[in-house]
Chain A
Amino acid sequence: VRLWRCRCWALLSRPAGRLRASRGLAAGPEMHFGFQSVTEEERREKIYQVFESVAKKYDVMNDSMTLGIHRVWKDILMHKMNPSPGTLLLDVAGGTGDIAFRFINYVRSVRERQLQRKLKHHQNLSWQDIFESYQKDKFNSLGDSQVVVCDINREMLKVGKQKAQHLGYSEGLSWVLGNAEELPFDSDKFDVYTIAFGIRNVTRVDLALQEAYRVLKPGGRFLCLEFSHVSNPLLSRLYDLYSFQVIPVLGEVIAGDWKSYQYLVESIRRFPPQEELKAMIEDAGFFKVDYENLNFGIVAIHSGFKL
């Protein structure tokens, strides 16, 4: 019965088109929580509860739902960012730290290559010089890069910190509890702002985008990795089938939580498509806004610059 109701909901909501009021674009207190209609406060609370309950199994579920492809998506995001040593990254809704750890790895390898190149140029160094430069650079393996992981949910941050300890990430990493709509940081601070699979859960996306603009330095980059809309009709049907039939079941079996994963799939359908999100990002003041579809639009990376 539940399955049939979901399909009914899905069929009903699509021809109805985009109900502006329930898209959460400031029209009124009525917002969407998946396919339900709730007030702003209710939505925030419900989403907090969703992530509180999935936090421990978040990574396992990501792997099983996306068949591990989410790792590739995050790697592509990191390559697109191409951070150089000395970059200050703010990862919002970064919960369990996937983006942060990838950033640290990337910057470390770039830094190593930089140092190797520098040493190659200096052909006539004495052993003393080499020893000294090695000492100096050993304490600077990240090249002064730093990443701040900000998340609204304490449970997710807890899991993230545990993971960091377990995997051995210590320097260049900090964890902050904060709301994307009201970031606890000064303006003009960060080089890059990322939000991976998080902006969908923000209640007031426009506020989050404005905050992103505020905390970025001039020239800074905004990157958003998020589920988006598939335009190919055949693929779209297969994707819908998989999303609504398989994922909640996986949620129940692996995490014991059908409803949270039902919410997840529905929230993907409710989120604005690529072009609309691009317009919203431009409205916040970003320039050179562009997006790249991954896997035919299942996921899209939006990028903008604060110029």
Chain B
Amino acid sequence: VRCQHYPPLRALQASAALRRASDEHKKEPLTSSSQQHFDSPPAGHQPEQEPQGPRPSYTGQGGQESEDYESEEQLQHRILTAALEFVPEHGWTAEAIAEGAKTLGLSVAAAGMFHSDGSELVLHFVSECNAKLSKMLEKEQKLVQLGEAEKKPIDEFLRHAVEARLRMLIPYIEKWPQALSVLLLPRNIPSSLNLLTSMIDDIWHYAGDQSTDFNWYTRRAVLTGIYNTTELVMMQDSSPDFEDTWRFLENRVADAVTMSNTASQVQSTGEAVVQGLMGAAVTVSNAETSRAVR
């Protein structure tokens, strides 16, 4: 739970909830990202708000330093991050966003800034997870480069990356089917597809893929197939710590690697389709058995 740094006096700017970036700097060194935001302010802004670059700091009343104010996007990010805590209870909905806004000291009406179907919340979560994954893979790559860790063989690397990424869903696994349906709304498909492909790209990049021929596409397609099917299997997996899911993942990755070893060129989308079919078959059979057991 973040403690709230709200300027008790409104000093020079009328906005009360847009925190001074200086307060945020005290908590996390996010200078570079906040500068990025200031470089591209949303259109239609009045001159009161100063999103362009750092201004000379000076003391307002009460001895507080007034530097840059955060932009609307940053505030929205903070609201969405706070809202994630309420997702297990309320689902991916405007209610969760309203609760999140409340914890930041804002009115519940602030949830009106977002769509009432919770799209932004899901997309925000997915992009946060992808960012976390990237950072993790980058760190591991650095360790390998410094010689402090062994370079993993390709199948183990892929397994490790996909597992790490899917584990981030565990706290929200109950409501994840709802999130998937939100991601498939026509309005959201461009963004969700974008997030998915960039994540797959990242994983292959850190796996050391340097291909510039047709392999590039086939590798992306294969890994996308593996990721999506494993996600579906995880949805209805009730084994302790999702062991069944990881075993499924291991088998799929092994299949993919074997096939690329036996052929000089990985066969294209045919593989992805087969994997998709296998994954669907496993999902269905698991669903049947679990239903039969009940």
Query: Which residues of A are interface residues toward B (Cβ below 8 A)?
Result: 80-84, 86-87, 191-192, 213, 216-221, 282-283, 285, 287-289, 303, 305-307
Tell me if B173 is interfacial: C-beta within 8 Å of chain A. Answer: no
- Can you list 20 contacts pairing A with B, beta carbon distance less than 8 Å? A191-B109, A216-B107, A217-B106, A218-B106, A219-B107, A220-B110, A221-B107, A221-B110, A221-B112, A283-B46, A285-B14, A287-B18, A287-B72, A303-B112, A305-B112, A307-B15, A307-B16, A307-B17, A307-B18, A307-B110
Is B12 close to A, CB under 8 A?
Answer: no
Is B98 on the interface with A (CB-CB < 8 A)? yes
Contact residues in A for B14 (Cβ distance below 8 Å):
213, 285
B109 interface neighbour in A192, A213, A283, A289, Cβ under 8 Å: A192
The 10 tightest CB contacts between A and B, nearest first, are A219-B106, A219-B110, A219-B107, A221-B109, A218-B17, A217-B107, A285-B14, A191-B107, A191-B109, A218-B16
Q: Are B108 and A84 in contact (CB under 8 A)?
A: yes
How many Cβ-Cβ contacts under 8 Å join chain A to chain B? Answer: 76
Knowing that A82-B111, A83-B109, A213-B14 are A-B contacts, what are 19 other residue pairs whose CB atoms are under 8 Å apart, sorted by A's residue number? A84-B108, A191-B109, A216-B107, A218-B105, A218-B107, A219-B17, A219-B106, A221-B107, A221-B112, A282-B44, A288-B113, A289-B44, A303-B112, A305-B110, A306-B15, A306-B16, A307-B16, A307-B18, A307-B72
> Which residues of chain B are within 8 angstroms of A283 by Cβ–Cβ distance?
46
Partner of B108, one of A86, A287, A307: A86
How far does the alpha carbon of A87 sit from the alpha carbon of B48 in the complex, in Å?
29
Contacts of A217 on B, CB cut-off 8 Å?
A: 106-107, 109
B residues touching A (Cβ–Cβ < 8 Å)?
A: 6, 14-18, 44, 46, 48-49, 72, 75, 94-95, 98, 101, 104-113, 116
CA distance A25 to B101 in the complex (A): 35
Q: Are A84 and B46 interface neighbours, CB within 8 A?
A: no
Q: What residues on B are CB-neighbors of A84 within 8 Å?
A: 94-95, 98, 108, 111
- Which of B48, B95, B109, B116 has a CB less than 8 Å from the CB of A219? B109
- The listed residue (A83, A192, A216, A305) touching B113 by CB distance below 8 A is A305
- Report chain A residues within 8 Å CB of B18: 287, 307
Contact B109 A220 (CB under 8 A): yes
Distance in angstroms between the alpha carbons of A192 and B110 in the assembled complex: 9
Least CB distance from B103 to A in Å reads: 11
Contact residues in B for A80 (Cβ distance below 8 Å): 112
A41 CB, min distance to chain B CBs, angstroms? 30
A268 to B98, CA, bound (A): 35
Q: CB distance A87 to B109 under 8 Å?
A: yes
CA distance A251 to B21 in the complex (A): 56
